[in-house]
Amino acid sequence: MMAAFRLAAGAALLSLFSLPVLAAAPPGADVQSIERGRYLATAGDCIACHSVPGGKPMAGGLALATPLGPIVATNITPSKTHGIGNYTLQQFSDALRRGVRADGAHLYPAMPYTAYAKVTDDDTAALYAYFMHDVAAVDAAPATRTDLPFPFNIRLSMAGWNVLFLDTKPFVADASKSMEWNRGAYLAQGLAHCGTCHTPRNALMAEQLSKALGGADLGTWHAPNISSDSNSGIGSWSQQALAVYLRTGRAAHRGQAAGPMAEVIDHSLKHLSDADLNAIAHYLKSVPAVRDAADTKPVTQWGQAGDDLRAIRGVPLPQNLNTMSGAQLYDAQCASCHQARGEGSFDGSLPPLFHNSATGRSNSNNLVMAMLDGVARQDGGSGQLMPAFRHTLTDEQIVTLGNYVQTMYGNPAIKVTAQQVATLRNGGAPSNLIGLARAGIIVGVLLLLALLVWWRGRRRKAM
C-alpha cells in the first residue's frame, strides 16, 4: 500500500519537469523540445544578460559591472564562428551547470551557473535544442570583451572557488512534498535563480544557504527578505497575492516591483504559466523563516494616511531650496500622484506609501532608489510609471524627503542618511543595475581567495 503510493508519487514527480504537451505543436519530439527549451530559457532569463537593449537576441555584449571591471556576457547564438554553434550537448551542459566553457576555461560566476546546476538533464537537453535550432545565429562578436586586470584574468582561479561553493547535484525532488512544491522549488532554486539576488552572501561572496532568501543588498537596490517569516518576509502574503506580484509586479497594500525586480518580471516571470507562478509562490511560503530583529511587525503594516499641511500652509518657500521642509517637498513632488495623505489612488494604480514594503523595511535603499531612478516597466503601454528625480532633487532634499516619508508613512525608526544617498546616487548608471544586482559584487574578494585555495592545492601537490 505504502510502496504503491510511493511509486505513484514518484511517477508524478517525474512528470513534474515536463510541461504539458503543446496541443498546436506538429508531431515530432524535436519541436516539442524546442518549445520547451524556449520556455525554460525564458524562466532562466538568459536574454536579460546575453543581449544589449535594442540588440540581437542572445548575441551578447551586456557588460555586468563588477568592482574589478566589466564582465561581458558572450554571444550564445548558434553561430559557428562567434557563438556556441560548435558546442555539443555535453559542452553546453558543462557551461550551463559547471561554469566551464567548451575550450575548458572557467566562466566567472557572473554567469549564474551555481543556480543552473540544479537544472535536470532533460531540461538541459531541451534548452540545447532551443538554442541550436530556434535562436538566430549572429556571426559577430560583442563590441567589448571581458578583460579583467591581473590576477583576476586567471580563469583557473575560479576552479578553487567552485570546489568550495559549486554544488553540482541537479535538483532532487522531495517525495514527502507535493508536486506543486517540488515544481516551485525546482524553478526558484534553479533556472529562475531567485537566490542570486535575494540570498545574503558570506565573506567569500557565496550564497549563505542557512539564510536562504533572507534579503541582500545589490549595491544600489535592496532585494528584500522573501523567506516565509511573517514580519520580515512574505509570510503574511497569500499565495495568490504572491503569484499576482510575480506576474504584474504589484500586490495591493504590499509592494511594487521596481529596479532589477521589474526587469526580472518583464523579461522572465510574467511570461510563465499560472501553474508555475503559483508553484513558485507556494514554495516561497515554505522557505524557512529568516527574521530581522528590527522588524517588530510585518513590513507591509507600517504607517497610515496623514499629512502635515498645517505646517506649510502660508509658509513661503525658503530662499535656499535645500532647506525646504519634508512636507513642502512632499507636497511639491509626490502628492500629485501619491495624494496629499499618502493614500495613493482608489484603483491602486498609484500605490499608497503606507502599508508598502518599500517604507516598512529596515532598509530604506529602495525608497531612495525609487526617488533617484523612478519606476519603469517595459510592459507595453505604461513605460515610466514614476519619474526619476535624480536631476530634480539634490541629495539634501532626498534626505529630508526620505526621512519625512519614513516618519509619516513608514517605519519611523528607519532613517535615510546623506552618505547613503550620495553612495546610491553614484552607484552606477541604471543600465548597470542588472549587473550589480545579479553578478556585480560576487567577484572581488572571491577570486583572491579562490586563487589562494588553488595555489595551496598546487603547493601541496608539489610537496
Q: Binders of ligand HEC among 194-223, rule CB under 6 A?
A: 194, 196-198, 218, 221, 223
What is the spatial distance between Cα 412 and Cα 313, in angstroms, rounded to a whole number?
24
Shortest Cβ 49–ligand HEC spacing (Å): 3
Contacts of ligand HEC in 251-270 (CB under 6 A)? 255-261, 264, 269
State the nearest-atom distance from the C-beta of 32 to ligand HEC, in Å: 19
Q: How far is the CB of 72 from ligand HEC (least distance, A)?
A: 6
Which residues 6+ apart lie within 8 Å of 198 measured at CB?
213, 214, 215, 216, 223, 224, 225, 226
CB 309 within 8 A of CB 340: yes
Using an 8 Å Cβ cutoff, are 360 and 301 in contact? Answer: yes
In sequence order, which residues have a C-beta less than 8 Å from that of residue 272 and are 6 or more positions away?
39, 42, 43, 187, 246, 247
Report the distance separating Cα 445 and Cα 440, nearest Å: 12
* Minimum CB distance to ligand HEC, residue 461 (Å): 26
In 3D space, the residue among 137, 126, 61 whose CA is nearest the CA of residue 92 turns out to be 126
Q: Which is nearer to ligand HEC, 7 or 317 (CB)?
A: 317
Please give the size of the binding site for ligand HEC, defined by CB under 6 A. 80
Number of other CB atoms surrounding residue 458 within 10 Å = 11
| Binder among 59, 126, 424, 437 for ligand HEC (CB under 6 A) | 437
Nearer to ligand HEC, 12 or 48 (CB): 48
Shortest Cβ 63–ligand HEC spacing (Å): 9
Task: Single out the residue of 61, 70, 160, 224 in contact with ligand HEC (rule: CB under 6 A).
Answer: 224
Q: Which of residues 97-136 bind ligand HEC (CB under 6 A)?
A: 101-102, 107-108, 110-112, 116, 127
Interface residue with ligand HEC among 46, 117, 132, 372 (CB under 6 A) is 46
**Identity of the residue, 194 or 205, whose beta carbon is nearer to ligand HEC in the bound complex:** 194
| Alpha-carbon span 438 to 461, nearest angstrom | 35
CA 103 vs. chain centroid, Å, equals 30
Among 117, 135, 212, 234, binds ligand HEC (CB under 6 A): 234
Least distance to ligand HEC from the beta carbon of 107, Å? 4
Rounded least distance, CB 316 to ligand HEC, Å: 21
Q: How far is CA 68 from CA 74, 141, 151, in A?
A: 18, 22, 10
Distance of CA 270 to the CA centre of its chain: 14
Count other C-beta atoms under 10 Å from residue 419's C-beta: 9
Beta carbons of 212 and 194 less than 8 angstroms apart: no
| 37 touches ligand HEC (CB under 6 A) | no
**Which residues inside 384-423 make contact with ligand HEC, applying CB under 6 A?**
385-387, 389, 401, 405
Distance between CA atoms of residues 136 and 59, nearest Å = 9
- State in angstroms the smallest separation of the CB of 463 from ligand HEC: 31
Tell me: cis bond preceding 298? Omega within 30 of 0 counts. no
Chain-centre distance for alpha carbon 244: 17
**Which residue, 81 or 456, has its beta carbon nearer to ligand HEC?**
81
Q: Which is nearer to ligand HEC, 6 or 133 (CB)?
A: 133
What residues numbered 343-382 form the site for ligand HEC, per CB under 6 A?
350-351, 353, 357-359, 366-367, 370-371, 375
What's the closest the beta carbon of residue 113 comes to ligand HEC, in angstroms? 8
* Binding to ligand HEC in span 168-197, by CB under 6 A: 188, 192-194, 196-197
Chain-centre distance for alpha carbon 272:
16
d(CA 95, CA 112): 10
CB 438 within 8 A of CB 199: no
Report the residue from 32, 33, 44, 228 that binds ligand HEC according to the rule CB under 6 A. Answer: 44
Nearer to ligand HEC, 303 or 351 (CB): 351
Residue type present at position 378: Q
* Residue 254 beta carbon to ligand HEC: minimum distance, rounded to whole angstroms: 6
> Least separation, in Å, of the C-beta of 58 and ligand HEC?
8
Nearest residue (CB) to ligand HEC, 250 versus 425 = 250
Residues 313-342 that bind ligand HEC (CB under 6 A): 333-334, 336-338
Nearer to ligand HEC, 173 or 283 (CB): 283
Asked if 137 contacts 85 with a C-beta cutoff of 8 angstroms, the reply is: yes
| Residue 126 cell numbers, joined | 531541451
Do residues 434 and 73 touch, judged by C-beta distance below 8 A? no
The answer to whether the CB of 437 falls within 8 A of the CB of 264 is no
Enumerate residues 1-20 that contact ligand HEC by CB under 6 A. none
User: Between residues 44 and 173, which has the closer beta carbon with respect to ligand HEC?
Assistant: 44
